[in-house]
Amino acid sequence: MTARTPYLHKTQYYETDQMGVVHHSNFIRWFEEARTDLLERAGLGYDEMEKLGIVVPVLSASCEYKSSVRYGETVAVIPAIESYTGLRLTISYRVVDSGSGELRATGETRHAFLDRNFKPSPLQRSHPEVHELMRSIAG
């Protein structure tokens, strides 16, 4: 399992706008899908983290659009962990056409690790086993 394993998404009709182009807001959803897939492949999905009392909110999300995606096209969303400190996590994303490899968008999300009371919770102290897993997928 690598942090750069692509997540494939076939675009749906409801994701398009009047021009037949995927609406820009869907790219942020695709980032979440790819991030969730990445964590599940590592063996620690959001459901498991929540059972452990770990909350992982999004602090920020950004996307730079390079070329349009249309209905029926399949894109590969490639997540990469850029930084992990035990308290914060930054993931970058590349969205490419799964056939041609053409770059469609790039983006980034930043996250924090909190406890059930929404207080900062450095994983190296609160959940050392999760910290080691995150370090292993961060490379």
Measured distance between the N- and C-terminal CA atoms of the chain, rounded to whole angstroms: 11
pTM for this structure? 0.94
Provide the edge-to-edge strand list for the sheet that holds 88-97. 7-10, 74-84, 88-97, 103-112, 58-65
**What pLDDT score was predicted for residue 132?**
96
**What pLDDT score was predicted for residue 119?**
98
Per-residue pLDDT of the chain in tens (139 residues, 90 and over written 9) = 445 789 999 999 999 999 999 999 999 999 999 999 999 999 999 999 999 999 999 999 999 999 999 999 999 999 999 999 999 999 999 999 999 999 999 999 999 999 999 999 999 999 999 999 999 999 7
**What pLDDT score was predicted for residue 1?**
42
User: Which residues have a catalytic role annotated?
Assistant: 17
